[in-house]
Amino acid sequence: MPRNRPALETLRASAQVGRDLQQEIEQFLFYEAAVLDDHQYDEWSDLLANDIHYFMPLRTTRGSRDRDKEFSGPHDIAYFDDSKVSMAQRVRKLKTSSAWAEEPPSRTRHFLTNVRIQPLATSNEYEVTSAFLVYRNRADEQTDLFAGERTDALRRVESAAGFQLFSRHIFLDQAMLQANNISFFF
């Protein structure tokens, strides 16, 4: 679940990371967003590690006493709870005409901000938390806006992109989705 880190702890963690690594990771995330917006799903799949866990829990509105129960857990129902195999199946389907929810294809624009990086216990692995906004327009009249927080885990690899994504947890701000579907990637 999203964690509310004290500002000082976040500041100290970002000081450990350094500006060069901060920029390198941000450029990776911006590249990933552009690839998704351009529907380059094979290139995007290359950015995913074989052990990826792509998870978007459901959110419910809770009172302040039950805020820790706001999101569904790992063994509860979720919008997405995918592995590399299930992600590959979704990508394969998007590239066919049988993905009715994406015919015609959605136009998306991914915005990322407030990128915070913390080294993980394993060398060359990083937890990256960011705020996102995804704009989606489909057909002539359907427009959707999704806002929230992502917690990603990146691993440095020998590739042109420099990193692979091995975990993504997506926490929508909305408790009630107004969209007809969520047939795209965050």
Domain with 61 in it: what CATH number? 3.10.450.50
User: Which residue carries 């679940």 as its tokens?
Assistant: 1
Q: Which domain holds residue 22?
A: 7-172
Q: How many domains does the chain have?
A: 1
* 57 belongs to a structural domain: yes
Per the domain annotation, does 179 fall within a domain? Answer: no
Write down the pTM of the prediction: 0.87
Give the HSE-up count for residue 178: Cα atoms under 13 Å, Cβ half-sphere: 9
Question: pLDDT of the chain along its 186 residues, tens only?
Answer: 555 555 656 556 556 789 999 999 999 999 999 999 999 999 999 999 999 999 998 787 777 787 777 776 777 788 888 999 999 998 988 887 777 787 888 899 999 999 999 999 999 999 999 999 999 998 888 899 999 999 999 999 999 999 999 999 999 998 888 888 888 899
Among candidate residues 56, 82, 81, 77, the one with its CA nearest the CA of residue 172: 56
